[in-house]
Structure 1
Amino acid sequence: MVNPAVANCPKKGDILDWTMKCKFMCKAIDMTSASPQRVQLAPACGPAKGYLIKEVTHITDSIPLLQFRHRCIKSFLRHNCSSQYPVPNIIHYVWYGMRPLRFYHFLSVYSVFKVQKPCVILIHGDFMPSGEYWNFLLKIVPNILFIQQIPPVEIANRTIRHVEHKADITRLMVLKEYGGIYMDTDEILLRTLDPLRRHNFTLSKAFNFNLSNGLILSARNASFLNIWIKAYDTYDPNKWGYHSTIMPAKLSKIYPDLIHVENKTFVRPDAGHTKDLFQNNFDWSKNYAIHLFMRYYKQVYSMISIRTLNCTMGAVARFVLFGHKELCIE
């Protein structure tokens, strides 16, 4: 239903009309009312091959836990997630530290589940997420598996001091091992990445001098990925984003045949224009995804507040949750 006071409203789901003049009915989301029963994927490991099977469980705060390079993971993925594209439809997140899942984390995972429809979502980390958004996510997204691994402590005989650098390295190692699509936990998917899965490796420009590592598509053991990992031989912990964003940009000029580069379709607006995320309404109709840069903005959002939040953050959240970007009728 559309607010009858406004004529010529865009159709539900229209992302070309940015007047934001109309209001739509938005369904209520009650995170506590769902049945305690839920369906989840569980690994079944045989002597020669592995499978993913569906099972019904009553546990709301836990999912199957596997170790990185578990002997059957590759078999699970090959048996369940094969496709005609070099990049398998597998989503990866890195989650280090003991902390609750926030609203924007939930929005990221739910966006890939809804838009990309992945075979499986693998969360790699040392501690499983917690909290009400995590429990709700498990009720509505059945194909999440947790891959437990300890954060790396060094690379090329150099100590990795920052957890962000540990996550930078982990995402590359994960993609080398399994292939797939890596997502930052504040990256929101807006349309399917399938047209890009035909390339062996894809990154997007963030600025003109670097490439973003917040969304990466990679075939397993991709050549560009291996070259990038090798470049960490010169890792300097005092250079914040050099190896994670500037280095791949330099390598893309040397090895252009090994990488497809998108023109900011993963990172628009960029980190220098966060006002367009939290104060203005930015036209993201040509984006594959949008990076929220939540480290720069500490406002707490919720299922309720985004209904009437008149900015890009609100429009993106409503698009993922309700299928339209317009404000909700109160």
Structure 2
Amino acid sequence: MPKQKSKRIFSFLFLLPLFLLKISLIYLLFFSIGDLEENSHPETSIFLPLSIQNTIPVQVPVAVAVPVPDPERNQTLYHSFTSRKMSRKKRMSLKILRPGARSKQFAQRATEFFDPLNVNNNTRSCNLSFFMTWISPSRYFSERELFSIESLFKWHPTACLLIMSTTMDSSKGSELLKPFLNNGFRVVALSPDYKYLVKRTPAETWLKQLRKGEVDQGEVSIGQNISNLIRLLVLYKYGGIYIDTDVIVVKSMYGLKNCIGAQTVDAVTRNWTRLNNAVLIFDKKHPVVLEFINEFASTFDGNKWGHNGPYLVSRVVRRVTNQVVVLPPIAFYPVDWSQIGGLFRGPGSQSKHESQWMREKLQWIQKESYAVHLWNRESRGMKLEKGSIIQRIMLGSCLFCNSTRFQSILALHTS
């Protein structure tokens, strides 16, 4: 009996370290790895908290206490680590806001561009101001964006176009815009001075907080949201027409004033249900644009796509319906994003019903539309087929119709 008892005690002492090791691992995994799965960012999920690396025991003597990880400490260390990593990433994304030599000259250069007294004898004066924004590198400013500019000047030959872009305000950007400049059209890309543009607007405080890291940028690209803001700032500062770079102009906009386009309408009441900010037309210092800027600064949410763009203008206009003209969808958005593919297809690839839709849609666009939004996110990779609505629109809105570049675009997409 004593021998069996001593044997059991020996077995117990031998197995106790293994048992404690198992318990500590289960405890560790339950409190620490669970936090990683729930709270980690995809880019940082491959890293374990430092406390996990330092507390997993390899061999535990009986007389030594097993270190039990503190779940709160693990979570604090993990979030401290990831917040430092994420803050570096956020700071990198804010590089577009850093002032440079060119951006500091923005106010002067913009004044010289728009002021008719500064126009020399070889340059046309402008009687309408257009604006675009471009946040991406200049190498992505492709044939589609260039054709948008081409269509703009086709219908507004004496207009001015200011492209708000640091990347296009470069030798590469100048080379891309050279065909327009060589033909006397007034276009320039300027690096924006954000501090100058937000001055004495509700966005001034917001921008300061953003630079200090006091604004949650969210998951939506900060560049996209800066683009949403800057179009409002330049319209408020100078007045004119803002258009996205994936918009083809199909008719003169000289008669439009203080208006915005509806994207969708109610099928029964025909009242608009959502507006869009791809085309905005407002006078200088217009109160509705100021309210757009105020809404941006006071309700900014970087985690909801469209919250600071199309949904923003929709929220504001619902409150100030008597101060702005809302044009029907056909004005700028003749098809919704889900139907844009129909404008790229030719009659040969369509059914009888689709061909009828195509003929009616083309006639309607030619009669009622001022521009066609291409919904770039959806249509970027679509093939332009021969005889399609988009091809016919391009043929009617081209400026350099006989150029090798334009002919190669049609040949490339319709072959």
Is it true that 1:95 corresponds to 2:134 in the alignment? yes
The 5-angstrom pairing of residues 121-200 of structure 1 reads 121-128=161-168, 130=172, 134-140=177-183, 142-149=185-192, 155=207, 157=209, 158-160=215-217, 161-196=221-256, 199=257
> What TM-score, normalized by structure 2, do the two folds share?
0.54
> What TM-score, normalized by structure 1, do the two folds share?
0.66
The aligned counterpart of 2:114 is 77
Deviation at 1:146, TM superposition (A): 1.8
Would the alpha carbon gap of residues 300 and 251 (structure 1) be closer, same or farther in structure 2, given more than 3 Å must change? closer
Who wins on radius of gyration, i.e. which is larger?
A: 2
The 5-angstrom pairing of residues 244-255 of structure 1 reads 244-255=309-320
The aligned counterpart of 1:33 is none
CA distance in 2, matches of 1:277, 1:310: 10
The aligned counterpart of 1:120 is 160
8 Å contact from structure 1 (residues 125, 147) kept in 2:
yes
- 388, 393, 396: which one aligns with 1:311: 388
**Structure 2 unpaired stretches of 5+:** 1-101, 119-126, 196-202, 210-214, 266-272, 347-357, 403-409
Structure 1 vs Structure 2: percent identity of aligned residues?
A: 19
Query: Between Structure 1 and Structure 2, which shows a larger proportion of strand residues?
Result: 1
CA distance in 2, matches of 1:228, 1:77: 24
Q: Please list the CA deviations of residues 288-329 of structure 1 after superposition, one character each: whole Å capped at 9, or x if unmatched.
A: 10001122123377xxxx6x7221221121111259xxx99x
Q: Please list the CA deviations of residues 114-166 of structure 1 after superposition, one character each: whole Å capped at 9, or x if unmatched.
A: 10234311111111174875444443453112211267996483244432111
Q: More displaced, 99-108 or 152-161?
A: 152-161
Would the alpha carbon gap of residues 118 and 256 (structure 1) be closer, same or farther in structure 2, given more than 3 Å must change? farther
Q: Please list the CA deviations of residues 164-216 of structure 1 after superposition, one character each: whole Å capped at 9, or x if unmatched.
A: 111111111111111111110010111111121xx3x2110012322111111
Would the alpha carbon gap of residues 114 and 69 (structure 1) be closer, same or farther in structure 2, given more than 3 Å must change? same
Would the alpha carbon gap of residues 159 and 94 (structure 1) be closer, same or farther in structure 2, given more than 3 Å must change? farther
SS at match of 2:303: coil
Is it true that 1:217 corresponds to 2:254 in the alignment? no
SS at match of 1:206: strand
Deviation at 1:257, TM superposition (A): 2.0
- 128, 134, 147: which one aligns with 1:107: 147
The aligned counterpart of 2:260 is 203
CA distance in 2, matches of 1:90, 1:73: 11
CA distance in 2, matches of 1:159, 1:98: 24
The one-letter amino acid of 2:110's match is I
Indicate the RMSD between aligned Cα atoms, in angstroms: 3.3
The aligned counterpart of 2:380 is 298
Would the alpha carbon gap of residues 141 and 312 (structure 1) be closer, same or farther in structure 2, given more than 3 Å must change? farther
